[in-house]
Amino acid sequence: MIQVTINQADLQKLLNKLDPDVRGQVIMDSLYLSAQYIAGWIKVNRFKSGANSKVTDPFTLTTRSGNLYSSIAGYPTTKSGNTYTARIGLIHPVVYAAIHEYGGQAGRNRSATIPPRPYMRPAIKNEENIQGVINDLKTNIERQLAS
């Protein structure tokens, strides 16, 4: 599971313009939508299937059963103190998920070495995705202010 964490203090000037009664909900809704977007980004950019077979990255996973692909989702945002966290992870367990993400030994007697083919971590390291989370939050705050 990966997560995006934003401390409320980072956006305090803009947040202070919001009515305190709606502030938290705007943040939670924005981050949840961003988590869903990033889950979609993972599916488009880290998996190869008939729909996106033009992907040429050797670390991209090939979709066979679709179990791993279909289990990736954004989770609703949680709040702890002033910190809001949106998670992207698997909605049902897939036994081979970790071996693809981190690599390692697999098979009988752990005789096969599987190279890491991360599909989750690149999404959160992608600068455009990170900036997109911030931009979405700003846009949703501005939309709330305009209503």
pLDDT in tens, the chain (147 residues): 666 666 666 677 778 888 888 988 998 999 999 999 999 999 999 988 755 555 566 678 888 788 999 999 999 999 998 888 999 999 999 999 999 999 999 989 999 999 999 999 999 888 899 888 888 888 888 888 888
Residue 134 lies in a domain: yes
Q: Are 140 and 29 in contact (CB under 8 A)?
A: yes
pTM value is 0.81
Other beta carbons within 10 angstroms of residue 4's beta carbon come to 21
Structural domain boundaries enclosing 17:
2-92+119-146
Contact between residue 117 and residue 59 where contact means Cβ atoms under 8 Å apart: yes
Which amino acid belongs to residue 135?
N
DSSP state of 47: E
Number of helices (H) and strands (E) in the chain: give both, helices first: 6, 8
Question: How many domains is the chain built from?
Answer: 1
How far apart (Å, rounded) are the C-alpha atoms in residues 125 and 88? 13
In a domain, 84, yes or no: yes
107: in domain:
no
Q: Is 46 contained in some domain?
A: yes
Whether 112 maps to a domain, the answer reads no
